[in-house]
Amino acid sequence: MAAGTITFVETIIGTVKKIKATWVTGSAGEAAAGTTTEVYSGRFLGLITVPSDTPSDNYTVTVKDSDGVDLLLAAATGNRDQTNTEFIAEASMAGVAMSALTFAVSGAGNSKKGVIYLLIR
């Protein structure tokens, strides 16, 4: 059984930081997880989930700081759609203060794929 993975592309565009997290779950459905290289500070402007390989419906996404706090405030727990791109607005999320971010995807099924975009200002 292979563990799931997440790879990151971290970009700064003016005052906005954009994190693209491409995820693949393990062959036996193991969660995908990974931590950003950069340390971030700011408020979350939005989170977008884009499934690309029909993951199980209602999968979970978390983004935690170095203290293990889910900065999405459970806004993406057990509710991500298997086919539709979805957006979580700023009002439903927290911010981050000087921390790398650990992304995780669980409950998506075996060898499933998708992309998460997080915008921070």
Q: What is the mean pLDDT of the chain?
A: 96
CATH of the domain at 34: 2.60.120
What is the tens place of the pLDDT at every residue in 15-53?
Answer: 999 999 999 999 999 999 999 999 999 999 999 999 998
**Is there a contact between 47 and 116 (Cβ–Cβ < 8 Å)?**
yes
Name the residue range of residue 109's domain. Answer: 5-120
Q: In the structure encoding, which two tokens stand for residue 76, read together?
A: 């993406």
Q: What is the pLDDT of residue 2?
A: 78
Q: What is the pLDDT of residue 91?
A: 94
Please return the burial class of 76, using the count of CB atoms within 10 Å of its CB with bins 0-12, 13-18 and 19+.
buried
Tell me, what amino acid is at 100?
Answer: A
Number of structural domains found in the chain: 1
